[in-house]
């Protein structure tokens, strides 16, 4: 049997805290800004709800031409600001070009527009977050490698913007590209909101975004993007404070930048560092401490959740999902990382 290539015993908690401390500080700033964007969007949705002047039975009837004109005007105004592409652009175009539009479709389209406008603003601060985290991790990983290799006169490099843009374009969540996942979420969230509105209208309850059922829906939708843990243990602070799709994308970008920083400073091998506690997946636990060549062929055993056993992997260099975090096989919260190791061969 192939032996696991285990490295020297390292202080995982210290390495992980150093890797994620500044990242989580940036996430905290982003989290607070995002809360304000959500608040603004919810206020706009309340204005739409207050403008509903039909009964529950009317929701599924065809609307007057004036509603079609209102929707067309709103979409055209948005198009003047941005090119509405992707799935959202397709859906809105379907609604706008319908010869007959139901009031349910009209409302759903208005909700889609509000979610989309929120996401346009969110993308601006999201890119800033990715950029700032990339700079931090790229610099830190270079310093880690320089210290390891004992370079006398190191030359530190800056983050290449083209590489960052490439990473953002490559980012995935649940096997979907990040941009596609967000567009799908906009349509799904709008449909869920409409269903809740319809239920309340049928029960003849006030349409109030501050009501418990509306608040629960918006909170759930927020968690499906980025959530902050409650009752965080002191050991988890600045190490495992957030979860959700955005945090997973952040893990992907951060570890890619860490690997690039190490390679750019001449690192030949890295060690896999996992958080080891009762929440650790068998996948990350089986990889913890293993050493990998950044350019050569790596043969190693790791647990496969699909096969429900340890499986022999052959990976050239480091590959996301296999031996570079976030590790896949099933959707889970992964905050593992890598650390430079001296090549003794």
Instruction: Please report the DSSP string for 297-310 in residue order.
Output: EEEEEEEETTTTEE
Poorest-confidence range of 24-38, 256-270, 321-335?
Answer: 321-335
Question: What pLDDT, on a 0 to 100 scale, did the predictor assign at position 280?
Answer: 82
Is the pLDDT at 109 greater than 90, yes or no? Answer: yes
- Quick one: average pLDDT of 220-245? 80
47-81: pLDDT as tens digits: 999 999 999 999 999 999 999 999 999 999 999 98
How many alpha carbons lie under 13 Å from residue 125 in its C-beta half-sphere? Answer: 17
Exposed/middle/buried for residue 23 (C-beta within 10 Å: 0-12, 13-18, 19+): buried
DSSP H helical ranges for the chain: 12-50, 65-81, 86-96, 103-149, 161-170, 178-202, 212-223, 245-264, 282-287
Which residues lie closer than 8 Å to 255 by C-beta, 6 or more apart?
A: 320, 324, 325, 326, 337, 338
Quick one: pLDDT at residue 157?
A: 95
Indicate the domain borders of the chain.
Answer: 13-267
Report d(CA 24, CA 240) in Å as an integer. Answer: 8
pTM for this entry: 0.91
Q: Residues 79-88: pLDDT tens digits?
A: 998 999 899 9
- Which residues, 6 or more positions from 329, have their beta carbon under 8 angstroms from its beta carbon? 283, 304, 305, 306, 321
Res 122 pLDDT > 60: yes
């Amino acid at each position: 049997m192939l032996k696991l290539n285990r490295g020297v015993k390292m202080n995982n908690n210290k390495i992980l805290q150093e890797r994620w401390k500044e990242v989580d500080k940036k996430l905290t700033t982003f989290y607070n800004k995002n809360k304000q964007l959500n608040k603004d969007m919810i206020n706009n949705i309340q204005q739409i709800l207050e403008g509903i002047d039909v009964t529950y039975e009317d929701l599924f009837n065809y609307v007057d031409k004036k509603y079609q004109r209102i929707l067309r005007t709103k979409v055209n105004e948005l198009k003047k600001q941005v090119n509405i592409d992707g799935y959202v652009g397709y859906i809105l175009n379907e609604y706008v070009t319908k010869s007959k539009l139901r009031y349910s479709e009209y409302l759903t389209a208005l909700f889609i527009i509000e979610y989309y406008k929120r996401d346009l603003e969110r993308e601006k601060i999201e890119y800033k977050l990715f950029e700032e985290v990339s700079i931090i991790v790229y610099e830190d990983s270079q310093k880690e490698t320089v210290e390891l290799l004992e370079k006398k006169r190191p030359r530190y490099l800056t983050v290449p913007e083209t590489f960052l843009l490439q990473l953002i374009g490559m980012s995935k969540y649940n096997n979907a590209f990040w941009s596609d996942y967000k567009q799908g979420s906009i349509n799904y969230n709008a449909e869920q909101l409409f269903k809740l509105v319809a239920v309340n209208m049928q029960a003849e309850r006030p349409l109030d975004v501050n009501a418990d059922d509306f608040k629960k829906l918006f909170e759930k939708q927020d968690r499906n993007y980025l959530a902050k843990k409650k009752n965080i243990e002191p050991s988890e602070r600045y190490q495992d404070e957030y979860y959700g799709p955005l945090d997973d994308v952040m893990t992907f970008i951060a570890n890619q930048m860490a690997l690039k920083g190490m390679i750019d400073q001449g690192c030949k091998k890295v060690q896999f560092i996992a958080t080891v506690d009762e929440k650790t997946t068998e996948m990350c636990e089986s990889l913890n401490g293993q050493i990998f060549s950044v350019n050569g062929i790596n043969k190693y055993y790791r647990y496969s959740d699909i096969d429900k056993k340890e499986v022999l992997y052959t990976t050239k260099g480091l590959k996301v999902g296999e031996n570079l975090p976030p590790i896949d096989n099933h959707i889970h919260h992964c905050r593992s990382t890598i650390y430079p190791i001296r090549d003794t061969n």
